[in-house]
Structure 1
Amino acid sequence: MLHRAAVVAVIALSACAAPTNLHGLTPETQAKVATASSLSCDNGQKSLPISSINDDYCDCIDGSDEPGTSACSHTGVLFHCLNEGYFSSDIPTSRVNDGICDCCDGSDEYLHPSSCSNTCGVLKAAHDEKMAAKSATEAAGRAARQQLVVKAKQAKEEAFRKRTDLESTKRDLEAAVASANELKSAEEALEVQDRRAASQRSRQAVADSLGLSSMSADQLASVIIDLSLKVYSKDDVLAALRATGVTSSRLEALEAQYVADDEAHRAEVSRITAVNDERRKLKEAATADADSTDAVIVDTTTDTDPLPLPPAPARPIVTLFETISKDEASERPEAKAARDAAADAQRKLDQAMSELSTLQTTLEKPYGPDDVLLAVKDSCVEATSGQYAYKLCFFGGAHQDTVSLGTMQPVDAALRELKFTGGTKCWNGPERSFTVALECHETEELYSIEEPSTCVYTAKLRTPLACAAPPTASAGHDEL
């Protein structure tokens, strides 16, 4: 392990002459060496005259006697650069007097004092300028973050207020649903009664029309048995009734009229079909003549348009049974209105409950210090890197073009990074993930997007979210 000369703890004090070469020692160690008589090294196994320090000969295995020369560079001992006016630093002793200026004060090249100019002042000025710019950026970032904190606080207060309103609305809607369902049940009960009465009337009318009312029990039994032996049609009903010898003169008259009407209808359909065929041929011939002679085409649409076919007559027995179906399915206007009102009330309640659930989930999420992330919820940051477009959305997903890099995971209290996991699985590899380190800045910028390993992506995000509270007055470098 690299170490500064362990000279401090192993110096024996006396009034003997101190070494003249104190390069590479800290000011504290130099003061002690000035009054010391000997040096103990290698964990106390060796004692040397104090004059052995920096005599360009490596006496100690740990190299502690040569912090200012390269004699013990193989040990890892360090040379201390004072760098007065800037930050002190330590360098390997192998760099001492090698012709390259490593210390900004040039102290590592003390054998060639004219070869190194003191650049500590220049470095300090550049450092101060950089720190001033950094401080200004952080101050602007903190101001921007404070605006986000205010926005987040307002958003949270609004969310709590909305939750209270929704809870009240939910209670009102639950009462409205209960009342609407009660009214619906009452109206539907009346509707059932109306349907039964209408069905009874229509069934009686059908029975009268079919002549069932005048049949004996044996005749009715015969009809039922005949119909039970097959999957019946309306013609089967008529056949079964006629087999009893008792038929309805009214229905028979209607059926006879239907047969006549149906025959007339078929004849008319045949006639119109023939006329339409003739008109079609005439129109095709006229078009062919016009194409061959370039003659002026006379509008003949009136005489050549196809005639409409007449509607088929309704069969009496079919109409008779349809009456029952219509009556049994009839809607009571009051019942329909009650059903619509109950459905509308339930829809409003479901919507309120969904909004309340979503809002509760929103309030329970962690939003980092001061709930600052609530201010950017559902907002997105985009960037282009290479041939790809990247996009991340707070509390949403991250994408590389259309490829998912995952969804955002809960943040920690320090809010140092955002993690997106569970993205599109790589071929023969893991699910894609995206880790974004946050840096303090006044504005948002996604940059330094990399893929350090297969389908594992990293990036940096400049954002006010990462701007912590201003530093205390005691913070800073004691060396300056």
Structure 2
Amino acid sequence: MNLILISSLFTIVFSGNIEQTVLRGIPTSLLPKYTLAKTFLCLDGSSTIPFEFVNDDYCDCRDGSDEPGTSACPNGRFFCENKGYIGTIIPSHFVGDGVCDCCDGTDEYETKIVCNNTCFELAQKTRAEREARRALHAAGVAKKLEIISKSVLIKSDREARLRELEEGLQKVEDELKGKEELKQQAEAPENEAKDKHQKLWEEQRAVREAIARDNQMHEMFAELDANNDSLVSIEELQKHTELDSDHENEFTVEEVRLILGADSVNFDEFNVTVFDQISNSYKKLSEQSSETPVDHADVAATTEAQLDQIQAEADEETSAGEDEYEHEEEQQDITTPVATSLEHEKHIHDDTVPEYDDETKKLIQLADHARNEYNEVEGRVQDIKRQIDDLKRQSDVDTGPHGEYSAFIDQCYDYEEREYTYRICMFKDAKQISKGGGSDVTIGYWEGWTGPENNKYLKMKYANGATCWNGPARSLTVTFQCGTEHKPIDVREPTRCEYSMIFETPSACDERIATAAMHQEHEEF
């Protein structure tokens, strides 16, 4: 190496009696490793070489550390000082390649290439970007401090409200117990009166059904007794072939006798053994013209007598057990005597319970009033419990070490794209809503904070969403970055069924960035 090359690679600095040699392309932090001496130890410790081999344009160290200022080593590194800007390191083979890689042009010191020094312009641009970032964080931190301040008040108010509700709940629950006792006291006579009313109605209905059966049986017997001998014979019943159970052969004498149980039956025998067997299948013969008329007046009189007897028994029981309710007069209104069998037939299939008497209505009104009061107090109890649960749920949410994410509680935010609206309800769930219609798809339920170890509050995870067709359950990762408003700015699906969201919020702004001094003009990477 000639003297000119050596002088270009070394700078001699005299300080007192100490002579120091500074080589090109070496970061300031590594200068002590290159102190002028007889030998040089490769930085990886692999070998020791004569110091004059350093920057001799020949690679002697395996790590290329002996040639920081030349392009001899393919794995070497050259440090750009870049005065006024940021020091950078480039691969050594960029040195002297005719391309200005360092903003101060020091990587082309051996060539005739003239490099414009752009470090000042880059420094100005970097300062502007850093200042803009600092200003953004400063504005965000100001809002973040407001959120933290409010969260302290909200937490204090929440705790006070929770104590107030828990104290009030005990009082309202005691009130509810009293209302429950009053309700039970009012429902007891109401239920008793309703039960008596129902029992009486069922007894009357049973009488009406008995009358209907009796009428049908009389008419059927009269029709079958064609010769009016007060008997139904095999020949008379055999005409009704619809009673033939097998419907395959003729209605034989043996089959008819099996129904009658004899060659003929009288009215009582017909009533006991035959009528119920044939009543559902029996059809009146169209050609039958003569039949013994049923004495409807006698049937009605008998029915009315039976109903009167039922009513009298009910009145007697009511008078003996509940004189204070005076059921004797009101209960008479419940009974509707059957004047004729025709009037009875009109109502025989009416299953509607008759209207309650006035005294029972009064009891129902009293019970309704007691129930309404109980329900009103019970509603207050449930409402207080819901409020307590909500406050406890809010208290349990991790909103950051200082409550900086407390503004998110019970808040939802939308991100619009062409096909979908993505809605995230903080600490609850996230959904994908199709703009073309159809049901919403849950892409995750709040799981927890998942940011890096030094700040876990920079990311949150929503998991166990709706399962993709033939795929995994959907999930969403939310990454927070500094901004002056709470809003999602991007949603993507980098992996099938795994969504990612970028969310701007003052809560993610950094006080250190907001208050950091401007960087020094010279930096090393």
The answer as to 2:49 corresponding to 1:48 is yes
Aligned-partner residue type, residue 376 of structure 2: D
Between the aligned partners of 2:359 and 2:35, the Cα distance in structure 1 is: 115
Aligned-partner residue type, residue 394 of structure 2: T
Equivalent residue number for residue 477 of structure 2: 435
Q: Deviations over 1:248-269 (max 9, x none)?
A: 886799978434768xxxxxxx
Equivalent residue number for residue 173 of structure 2: 174
Equivalent residue number for residue 209 of structure 1: none
Between the aligned partners of 2:416 and 2:200, the Cα distance in structure 1 is: 78
Match for residue 340 of structure 2 among 243, 246, 258: 258
Aligned-partner residue type, residue 409 of structure 1: E
Q: Identify if the C-alpha distance between structure 1 residues 348 and 54 changes in structure 2 by more than 3 Å, giving closer, same or farther.
A: same
Q: Deviations over 1:225-264 (max 9, x none)?
A: 98xx989xxxxxxx9xx89xx95886799978434768xx
Aligned-partner residue type, residue 464 of structure 1: P
Equivalent residues of 2:415, 2:490 under 8 A apart? no
Q: Identify if the C-alpha distance between structure 1 residues 460 and 336 changes in structure 2 by more than 3 Å, giving closer, same or farther.
A: closer
The answer as to 2:489 corresponding to 1:459 is no
Cα drift, residue 337 of structure 1: 1.9
Please, what is the CA RMSD of the aligned residues?
Answer: 4.5
Q: Identify if the C-alpha distance between structure 1 residues 109 and 329 changes in structure 2 by more than 3 Å, giving closer, same or farther.
A: farther
Between the aligned partners of 1:124 and 1:426, the Cα distance in structure 2 is: 50
Cα drift, residue 188 of structure 1: 2.9
Aligned-partner residue type, residue 51 of structure 2: I
| Residue segments in structure 1 that go unaligned for 5+ positions in a row | 1-14, 207-221, 232-238, 263-311
Q: Identify if the C-alpha distance between structure 1 residues 136 and 177 changes in structure 2 by more than 3 Å, giving closer, same or farther.
A: same
The answer as to 2:388 corresponding to 1:350 is no
Equivalent residues of 1:79, 1:90 under 8 A apart? yes
Equivalent residue number for residue 97 of structure 1: 96
Equivalent residues of 2:40, 2:49 under 8 A apart? yes
Q: Any residues of structure 2 matched to 1:16-35 within 5 Å, and which?
A: 22-27=23-28, 29-30=30-31, 33=34, 35=36
Between the aligned partners of 1:256 and 1:45, the Cα distance in structure 2 is: 123
- More divergent stretch after superposition (112-121 vs 469-478): 469-478
| Residue segments in structure 2 that go unaligned for 5+ positions in a row | 1-16, 206-267, 278-294, 309-335, 435-440
Between the aligned partners of 1:475 and 1:406, the Cα distance in structure 2 is: 41
Structure having greater relative contact order (Cα 8 Å, sep ≥ 6): 2
Q: Any residues of structure 2 matched to 1:285-434 within 5 Å, and which?
A: 326=356, 330-331=360-361, 332=363, 333-385=365-417, 387-402=419-434, 403-411=441-449, 414-434=456-476
Q: Any residues of structure 2 matched to 1:144-159 within 5 Å, and which?
A: 144-159=143-158
- More divergent stretch after superposition (32-41 vs 364-373): 32-41
Equivalent residue number for residue 449 of structure 1: 491
Equivalent residues of 1:82, 1:105 under 8 A apart? yes
Aligned-partner residue type, residue 52 of structure 2: S
Secondary structure of the equivalent of 2:52? helix
Aligned-partner residue type, residue 427 of structure 2: F
Equivalent residues of 2:394, 2:409 under 8 A apart? no
Question: TM-score, with normalisation over the residues of structure 1?
Answer: 0.67
Q: Deviations over 1:191-220 (max 9, x none)?
A: 4566688899999999xxxxxxxxxxxxxx
Q: Percent identity over the alignment?
A: 28
Q: Deviations over 1:120-173 (max 9, x none)?
A: 111111111111111111111111212222333333333223323322331122
Secondary structure of the equivalent of 2:445? strand
Q: Identify if the C-alpha distance between structure 1 residues 25 and 386 changes in structure 2 by more than 3 Å, giving closer, same or farther.
A: farther
- More divergent stretch after superposition (162-171 vs 468-477): 468-477
Between the aligned partners of 1:313 and 1:396, the Cα distance in structure 2 is: 63
Secondary structure of the equivalent of 1:372? coil
Q: Identify if the C-alpha distance between structure 1 residues 448 and 192 changes in structure 2 by more than 3 Å, giving closer, same or farther.
A: closer
Question: TM-score, with normalisation over the residues of structure 2?
Answer: 0.62
Q: Any residues of structure 2 matched to 1:221-236 within 5 Å, and which?
A: none
Equivalent residues of 2:483, 2:504 under 8 A apart? yes
Equivalent residue number for residue 117 of structure 1: 116
Q: How many residues align?
A: 387
Equivalent residue number for residue 37 of structure 1: 38
Cα drift, residue 18 of structure 1: 8.6
Cα drift, residue 107 of structure 1: 1.0
